[in-house]
Amino acid sequence: MNLLEQMTSTSTDLQGKDLLSWLNYSQADVSQLLAQAQYLKENPHSSFLAGKTLAMIFEKSSTRTRVSFEAGMVQMGGHALYLNTKDIQIGRGESISDTAQVLSGYVDAIMFRTTSHEKLQELAEHASVPVINGLCDVYHPCQALADVFTILEQKGRLHGLKIVYVGDGNNVAHSLMIISAMMGMEVVVATPEGYEPAPDVVAQAEKLALQYEGSVTISHDPHKAAEGADVIYTDVWASMGQEEEQEERRKAFQGFQVNQSVMNQAKDDAMFLHCLPAHREEEVTAEVIDGPQSYVFQQAENRMHVQKAILQALIGYR
């Protein structure tokens, strides 16, 4: 039985909707997107987005976000425009609201990879086409959908699984907490004191966990957190824009490396995930990330499949 047959969620109409975070989506919405992602992975080439155009605005550099969105649009018969902020007028002082309204007259959706959630919200407020969060300082929703899709592919279910995130309570951790709680998973974030996820995001994830029979726990002991885990996840200790904090963070995160000792606390068939790029022998050892429990490259590929599902749902022909 494939995922399309297993996930019998109610079909929902997402056309025209923004994706800034998963907080204004339901479990049924996410299940529908996961099922469609599997279909598109098995049937990669289509005309679902024929004649459609995606504008991709980048304030921050990218490998996976740019290539996965662009390749996904091409595979579905559409076209993607790469717009670096240094190359368009927004980089010379044109307002976000003007940019949003101008682009809305040209394209069918806008993907924005930005330094600020407030900028993303402003763009969505003034755009008349769907806006997709390609990453901001608070959330990384497309990554989180790829994460749970990868887990679902390997484990056959999400509800009741234990996922442990070891590292900085950053945008990746935020979106992972929200979507995992929404899917009824047991989420544990193990992080040094002072680097916990934002309290308001934790509260929102806890509310979702209560609604969907999951749980959310914040820990400061990665070995204890990893006990009985189905999935161990980590990210870099210093994200883009935090380069000046790198040495300080390296000291703070000593003891939070995902190594074989941490993996040994998890279940024998536990998966290792990382959103990439990775710094081997810093947040994760080469033994783990390049080992048999690692699914990081499947996870990276799945960015394209889930984003295709998102694009089809938000702008595809009916």
- Which of the residues are catalytic? 113, 140, 143, 235, 275, 303
Phi, psi dihedrals of residue 305, rounded to the nearest 5°:
-65, -40
What ranges in 193-283 are assigned the alpha helix state H? 199-212, 222-225, 246-252, 260-263
State both tokens at 297: 């490259």
- Kindly report the length of the chain: 318
Task: Produce one character per residue of 253-266: b if its CB has 16 or more CB atoms within 10 Å, e if not.
Answer: beebbbeeebbebb
Q: Which residues pair with 137 in a beta bridge?
A: none
CB-neighbour burial class of residue 119 (10 A; exposed 0-12, middle 13-18, buried 19+): middle
Three-state DSSP class for 298?
helix
